[in-house]
Amino acid sequence: MSKGLFITFEGGEGCGKSTQVKRLKAELESRGIEVLLTREPGGTILSEEIRRLIKDQEEDAPCDRAELLLFLAARAQLVRNVIRPALAAGKYVISDRFSDSTIAYQGYGRGLSLDFISAANDFACEDLKPDITFLLDVDPEVARARMRSRESATHTAADRIEKAGEEFHARLREGFRALAAADRERIVTIDANGSPDEVWNLISNILRKVIR
Ligand code: TMP
């Protein structure tokens, strides 16, 4: 039985999740809360290997179905070996992406069956659901500008999924919005077009109502 709190962050590329996730961790720790920060795909040795395959394998790039199954395998390992034990120990777990990303990217983005993905997500997570999800919603032009500046600051190129094209990214944004509309209890949509401080203020206002 879970005693901790499970918080996830979702959104398209360049939405600024990673910055906010670190800020939330620091804020919770300053209140004496034990926090486990993880990311998806990733967070275990196996799941980080899968992350590398999914993001960078260009020569034999995973087909859409293989890509879906790889994300699910990474998730099953992370939930079983990391997230559930941490929650059971009373920790707050923050995950940079979780199962909503699969519905948005592989369902709405790649066009794979939403019903199948939903059932497969439940199987992979053993029915674990986040207690609260922050969906960082950002206009496509703002997202593109952020990605360009990140690429030049870190001297890295866009990965296979980041390069998937404007229509793909528009579809997955619609997917995230549809998910949020269908579950307003759990998913809080945050306008992420502002500066990191502005976005953090929106998140911390919500947090006050959630933290026990
Ligand atoms: P990121 O954590 O740096 O955003 O990279 C993860 C990438 O994988 C990102 O492009 C979103 C994508 N993704 C999916 O397509 N499906 C998923 O289920 C997850 C967790 C991520």
Helix (H), strand (E) at residue 134: strand 132-137
Angle at 39 between CA 35 and CA 117, to 5 degrees: 125
155: left (phi over 0), alpha (psi -120 to 50) or beta: left
Q: What angle do CA 4, 100, 48 make, to 5 degrees?
A: 75
Task: Report pLDDT digits (tens) over 11-25.
Answer: 999 999 999 999 999
Question: Mean pLDDT of all residues in the chain?
Answer: 95
pLDDT in tens, 108-166: 999 999 999 999 999 999 999 999 999 999 999 999 898 888 888 888 888 888 888 88
CATH number of the domain that residue 81 is part of:
3.40.50.300
User: What type of residue is 192?
Assistant: A
Q: Is the pLDDT of residue 1 over 80?
A: no
Number of other CB atoms surrounding residue 197 within 10 Å: 8
* CB 41 near ligand 1, within 6 Å: yes
Distance 32 CA to ligand 1 centre (A): 30
Cβ atoms of residues 57 and 80 within 8 Å:
no
Give the CA distances from residue 207 to residues 21, 181, 196, in Å, rounded to whole numbers and listed in that order.
13, 20, 16
**Per DSSP, what are the bridge partners of residue 9?**
96, 134
Lowest mean pLDDT among 29-43, 100-114, 158-172: 158-172
CA 212 to chain centre: 23
Residues paired with residue 191 on neighbouring β-strands, in sequence order? 137
Please give the residue range of the domain that contains residue 18: 5-210
Cα 45 to ligand 1 centroid, rounded to whole Å: 17
Overall domain count for the chain: 1
Any atom of ligand 1 within 6 Å of the Cβ of 173: no
Q: 3 CA distance to ligand 1 centroid (A)? A: 27
